[in-house]
Amino acid sequence: MKDSQKGTPVVVKMEDPNFSVVKINGADAAFRPVDKNRGKNAKQVRWVLLLKAHRAVGCVTWLVTVLWDLLGAIKKRLVRRQGVAVEKGKLLFRIISLFLLISLAVLAFEVVAYFQGWHFGNTNLHIPHTSDFQRLFHMVYVAWLTFRADYIAPPIQALSKFCIVLFLIQSVDRMLLCFGWFWIKFKKVKPMINGDPFKVDDVEGSLCIYPMVLVQIPMCNEKEVYEQSISAVCQMDWPRDRLLIQVLDDSDDESIQWLIKAEVSKWNQKGINIIYRHRLVRTGYKAGNLNSAMSCDYVNDYEFVAIFDADFQPNPDFLKQTVPHFKDNPELGLVQARWSFVNKDENLLTRLQNINLCFHFEVEQQVNGVFLNFFGFNGTAGVWRIKALEESGGWLERTTVEDMDIAVRAHLNGWKFIFLNDVKVLCEVPESYEAYRKQQHRWHSGPMQLFRLCLPAILKSKVSPWKKANLILLFFLLRKLILPFYSFTLFCIILPLTMFVPEAELPLWLICYVPVCMSILNILPAPKSFPFIVPYLLFENTMSVTKFNAMVSGLFQLGSSYEWIVTKKAGRSSESDLLAAAERETESIEHQKIHRGASDSGLVELQQLKELKEAVPEPVKKANKIYKKELTLAFLLLTACVRSLLSAQGVHFYFLFFQGMTFFLVGLDLIGEQMS
C-alpha cells in the first residue's frame, strides 16, 4: 500500500485478519477519540480475561483463608476439648432449642414444597393427579398454610405489635436524652464552683478549710490492679492529716493478701495515712465490705467518703475537683465523676463497650444530673457526704447493685446528686467476653431485684409524683426491664419466626431504619467509633440474650440473680502511669537510702514480701467457654436466613445472616481476649 502524501510511505502486511490498522496522518491524530465499536485485539481480550480470572482467584483465596482461620478457631474449641467449659443451659436454652427444632422441620417441609413449584401464601393450590404420596403431601401443605394463617400468625402479630410499641417508646426516650445532651453542649451547662474554696487570708488556719475525707478502696483478689490503684490514691493532692485511706481487702488468697499488705506498708512508711482491713467472713460482698468499714469509730471524724474500685486510678487533683461542690450546698449528697478507659482500643470488644459507656456517662448520667439532680450511683469514682449515707440507711446487702440501692434511697430522702463530666478517672473495661458477660448479668439482674424490694418504699415516699413516675416508669421499667425484653423478643425470636410465618412479617423500617438511627444516636458521644456502627448494632442484639436472661432471673428472684463474680482485669497502664511508676521506683531507692537506719525486722519483712510478690506465678491462659444459648440462636437465625431466600426477602436475609454469624462467633467466644 502506497501513500500519495509527502513523507516516507509505510507498508503493513496483514497476516491476522483480527488485527485492525489505524492510519496516523499527523501528530494530533493519536489523541483523537477512538471508535469504541472497532474490533478488539485478541491478545488484549485474552489479557483482560486473565486479569479478571486473577482477581477472582484472589477473592476466592481471601475467602478460603478467612474460612480456614474460622475453622481453625472452631477446631480449637470443639475438637480439642481439654479445658473447654460448656455453659450449662436452663429454661431459656430449652425454649430456644425448641424453636430451632421446629424451624428446621418447617424449613425442610417448605423446601420440598418450593421445589414442587407451590406458592407459599396460596392455599388454593392445584396440582395434576400424580402419585398418592404427592397428593397427600399437597393436602398436608395446604392444611399447614391454613393453620399458619389462622392460628399462628395472629398471636405473633399481637406480640410483635406490643414489642414495636415498646421499641418506639424506648426510641423516643433515647431521642429526648440526646436532645437534652445537645442542649447541655450548646448552652455549655455544667456544675460550677464559686470562687476558690481553698483560698483564705489566714495562712496559719488554711488547713482548717480542707474537710476530713475518707478514701475507701474495696477489693477482692485483685492481684493485677491493686498496686496501681493504691499508688494513685496515695498521690492525691490533699493535706495528709485531713485524709485517711482504707484498703478494704476481701481476698481469700493469702499470697494476694500479703502483697497488698506490702504495698500498704510501703506507702505507710512514706508518711501516708493508710490502713489495711481484712474481713475473716466475706458476707454481703462489696456492700458488706463497705458497711463493715463504715462501722469503725474513727469514721465519725470524717465528713466525706470517696470510693474507688481496685482498677480505678484517680488524678492527684480529684478531691480538689469534687469536694468543693459540697461547700454551701447542704442538700448535695453525691458527686459522681466520669470513667475513662485505659484499654478502650485493646480489641473489638473493648471498643464496643466504650461506645455504650460513653453514651451512659455523657448522655444518661449528665442529662439526668442536670435536669433531675438524680442518677444511679456507679459504685466507684464518686464522693459521698457521710451524713447522706447514714440518713439513707447505709450500705445494704440485699442486692448485687448496692450502688444503685443507696442512690435510690438517698434520692427518696431528698438528697441531690451532681455529675461531673469533665472529671475523669482511669479504669479498665473487661477484655474477655466471659468477664463482660458476667458483669452484664449482674448489672441487669440487680436492678430487677432492687425494683421488687424498693417499689413499696417509692410508692409510700413523700417525694413528688413526678419523681415517683421517673423512678418507676423511666429509671426501672423502661431502661432496665423493657429494653432487654423487646430487644431479645423482637430481633431474636419474632423476626426469625416471621420468616416461617409470612403473614406476620415485620416492616422494613423496624428492621433497618430505626435500629440504625438509634445506633447513630448511641455512637454520637464517641464519634471516633463510627466505623464500628454495624458491629455495635449486631453485638448489642447478641448481648440481649444475656441481658434478658439476667432481667428475668432478677425479676423472679432466681438463683443466678444473687451471683457475684469479681470482674477480671488485665492491669493495663497508660503511658503516663508507666512514667510515674519509673519515678516512684527511683524515689523508692532514695527512700531506702534515707531510711537505712530503720529497724532490721521491718526491712526483712519488706524483703520477704517482695520475694513473695516475685514468686507468685503468672496465671495460665485457659480455653474459652462455649455458650450454648448464643450458638443455638445462631443456628435459628441462619435457618430463618435460608427460609428468607425462598421468599426472596433481601434485607431480611442480610440482617439474619450477619446477625446469625455474630451469634455464632460470640457463641464460640471468638470476640475479645482469652480468660486467665
> With 0-12 CB in 10 A as exposed, 13-18 as middle and 19+ as buried, what is 662?
buried
H-only helix segments in 270-347: 285-294, 318-322
State the SS3 of 604-622: HHHHHHHHHHHHCCCCCCC
Given 249, 403, 405, 669, which residue is catalytic?
403
Dihedral sign for Cα 136, 138, 140, 146, please.
Answer: negative
**DSSP run (H or E) holding 588:** helix 575-594
In the residue annotation, 403 being an active-site residue is answered as yes
Residues 249, 250, 405, 669: which is the catalytic one? 250
Rounded CA-CA distance 198/537 in Å is 47
Joined together, the cell numbers standing for residue 560 give 443466678
- The Cα 373–Cα 365 span in angstroms is 10
Going by C-beta distance under 8 Å and a sequence separation of 6 or more, which residues neighbour residue 363? 177, 178, 180, 181, 525
Q: What is the rounded CA–CA span in Å between residue 180 and residue 175?
A: 9
- C-alpha 357/C-alpha 334 separation (Å) is 20
Amino acid at 544: S
Query: In whole angstroms, what is the distance from residue 323 CA to residue 329 CA?
Result: 11
Q: How far apart are the first and last CA of the chain?
A: 84
Cα–Cα distance between 606 and 214 in angstroms, integer?
26
User: What dihedral do alpha carbons 377, 383, 388, 394 form, nearest 10°?
Assistant: 70
For residue 132, count other CB atoms closer than 10 A to its CB. 8
Give the torsion sign (CA, 421, 427, 431, 432).
negative
Q: How far apart are CA 362 and CA 660, in angstroms?
A: 31
Candidates 546, 545, 539, 518; CA nearest to 659 is 539
Nearest CA to 371 out of 524, 183, 171 is that of: 183
Catalytic residues: 250, 403
